[in-house]
Copies of this chain bind each other. A is one copy, B any other.
Amino acid sequence: MAHFNCSIAQTLEIVGEWWTPLVLRNIMMGQRRFEQIQADLGIARNILSDRLSTLVDAGVLTREQYHDAPVRYEYRLTEMGSDLFGSLMALMAWGDRWLSPDGPPVEVLHKDCGEVTRPVVACEHCHGELTRRNVRVRPGAGWRPPTGVTLPASV
């Protein structure tokens, strides 16, 4: 998928496999150890091992040994990994809105302002929400045609 000249595709190469976003969610909640994550998600050990290796190789996680015999590792988010928090919040906000008729399973308190908040994907300049209707996508500095993607004049 990496041949697509598209940062969504590039991102999915690393975090787009089944289970990976939930593995990251658990690590963001403070679960650093294989056994914890495995027990909490009920994921097959070989799949969890594969997902963690992909994330370590990509620079999203570091792996540090915390026990000798047997050898055990802890996983920690790098800055690159921590920066995925916003994407997970955006996915959560969508599920809260469309799939949670009883209200959000969890609520998000923004400590900086003290409010219970809804994550919004917004413009860094005017802070307005970005929607399909109010943005236009066009080739940027890293654009490399030809690609698998047909970029329209406007989306």
Contact = CB atoms under 8 A, between A and B. Distances in A.
A142 B83 contact: no
| Most B Cβ at <10 Å: residue of A125, A136, A139 | A125
B105 A83 contact: no
Copies in the complex: 2
Contacts of A110: 123, 125-126, 128, 130, 134-135
Contacts of A93: 7, 86
Contact of A29 (B31, B130, B142, B151): B151
B5 A105 contact: yes
A39 B4 CA distance: 13
A87 interface: yes
Contacts of A136: 108-109, 111
A56 interface: no
Interface string A82-104: 11111111111111111111111
A95 B10 contact: yes
B91 A41 contact: no
Interface string A124-138: 111111111011111
21 contacts: A6-B92, A7-B93, A8-B21, A8-B25, A8-B95, A11-B92, A11-B99, A12-B18, A89-B121, A90-B90, A102-B142, A103-B141, A105-B142, A107-B138, A108-B135, A109-B135, A110-B126, A112-B123, A112-B134, A119-B130, A122-B127
